[in-house]
Amino acid sequence: MQPRKIFIYTFVGSILILSLLYGYQGEILMRPHGIHIWRQCDCAQFALNYYTESMNFFEPRLSWCTGNDGKMGSEFPIIYYSAALLYKVFGVHDYFIRFINLLFFFIGLFYLFKAISLFLEDEFYGLILALMAFTSPILIDYANNFLSDVPAISLSFIGIYYFLSFHNQNKSRELWKATFFFALAGLIKVTALMSFLAIIGTMLLVFFFKLNKREEPVWLEHKKTLLAFIFLPLLISAVWIVYIKQYNLANNNTYFLTTILPIWNLDAVDIQLIAGRFEHYWLREFIYRDFTNTMPFVFLLCLFIPYRKNASVVIWLCMLIAAGAIYLLLFFTQFTVHDYYLICLIPIPIAICAVFLLRVKKWKPAFFKSKVVKVLLLVLFIVMIHHGRRLNTIREKNESWSYYSNSDFYKLETNINRLGIKPADKIISIGDGSTGESLYLLKRRGWTSLALTQPKATETDIENCKAMGAKYVVISDSGDERITPEAKNMYLRNELYNSDGVKIYKL
């Protein structure tokens, strides 16, 4: 068997083994739960509402009927629309979104393996570095999940591979492929374009400052394709951002973030709070912390290795790190609770290692080929797997983010059907402070406490929702304390259900 095929089979086998170690076989069948169930349910609501309300791709909406019947959006909804198409054929099952996201991730990881192998001309290092990404607790969690951050970064891995392929083969079709995958990555999550922006910045510096005269004639052969590569991903992402901002405003919804939340808008106390989260939570869940802590030193070694070539590669790495730093400053506020905002930074430590190994390969080939070095790297990889698995298990057991972690709310959909509450009947879910955890778990549309008068829902709130089609009130969690006595006396008279901390009333 050819060595290349051996590594491909090893990659596939490793992915299967790691997936089993991380419990993916059970996780893929589960409904939204655990850390950031709120955002998980938001994503799943898009697919469900395409299926139940309208298959118009450009009219995404939530089950949370705030604004104009919940019409609002964020990222390009190709994943959720695809899931809705599967719902039309096979029925509504949460695992379709998880499966689509996992498919993106595994394909993206394979192309990352191919990209690093092509970059270093060594399949072993390509295999280990690509799989190191699959030891990040955050990536492990969100790869088999509902959010679109992992598919976006996975598409950028494919884009990187095809750009390297273009660099090696000098064929326009490879650059067009890179353009397509970077454009799709940016559509789904514009923050996934960091690697792309670093490539563009490097190309401009190399061209204008004549840093690599050998490459310049190659690039100039593909002027039109290069212009498309530079501008199309940015233009397409910008068009979607402008559209979705106007769509949200037109429908009186500003829930989803479509702008920056920079560090300079915070006071010293908030900055210190978020810095503490990085120190105690985010950095250890980003990737193995001892590995992360060595990255600044490895990066410095990349700069100081006395080998004069590879200038463009080092520039790209500097650009990538700079893009990551700017990103952290622009979205610093989001790191109060949004751990998944770290996903787009995963390429940085992998890139540092890849560039370092390339520099070592050119400077000290014997060290690069050393079996001792490869064994040590393999041991580090095994330690990282253990770390990723342990922290992912902790994350899975952390139900403190869910309003319904300690109840049988997940089983209530069957009971609600038996009560005669039709799928099209709208509900008011009091006690749910999210944009619709309860709404999604019950497969119903309506309103939550988040859209009602705070701290307690009033008669006016109930009457307004009733006028817009609400037929039932669901009281859960702290719901009894989040409605005024007057509203209770007026509307909570006809009790249909009372079990497991959940009460349902007919209006």
Angle at 500 between CA 494 and CA 504, to 5 degrees: 20
Check residue 5 and give its pLDDT.
87
Q: Is 252 left (phi over 0), alpha (psi -120 to 50) or beta?
A: left
Q: Which of 351 and 433 is assigned the larger pLDDT?
A: 351
Alpha helices in 278-340 (DSSP H): 283-286, 289-304, 311-330
Pairing of strands 446-448, 470-475: unpaired
**Amino acid at residue number 23:** G
* Residues 245-294: tens digit of each pLDDT: 999 999 999 999 888 999 999 999 999 999 999 999 999 999 999 999 99
Check residue 397 and give its pLDDT.
76
* Residues 30-79: tens digit of each pLDDT: 999 888 899 999 999 999 999 999 999 999 999 999 999 999 999 999 99
Check residue 445 and give its pLDDT.
98
Distance in angstroms between the alpha carbons of the first and the last residue of the chain: 70
**Band of pLDDT at residue 215, cut at 50, 70 and 90:** low
Interatomic CA distance for residues 68 and 143, integer angstroms: 32
Single out the residue of 144, 154, 150, 112 nearest to residue 130, CA to CA: 112
**Band of pLDDT at residue 219, cut at 50, 70 and 90:** low
Interatomic CA distance for residues 373 and 127, integer angstroms: 15
pTM assigned to the model: 0.96
Check residue 153 and give its pLDDT.
98
Q: What share of the chain is helix, strand, coil (3-state, %, to 5)?
A: 70, 5, 25
* Residues 319-333: tens digit of each pLDDT: 999 999 999 999 999
Interatomic CA distance for residues 133 and 246, integer angstroms: 36
- Residue 189 tokens read as 């999550």
* Residues 392-446: tens digit of each pLDDT: 998 887 766 555 554 567 778 778 888 999 999 999 999 998 999 999 999 999 9
- Residue 150 tokens read as 């992992």
Angle at 346 between CA 343 and CA 348, to 5 degrees: 140
Check residue 212 and give its pLDDT.
61
Interatomic CA distance for residues 267 and 264, integer angstroms: 8
Interatomic CA distance for residues 145 and 154, integer angstroms: 14
Interatomic CA distance for residues 8 and 130, integer angstroms: 12
Q: Percentage of the chain with pLDDT > 90?
A: 81
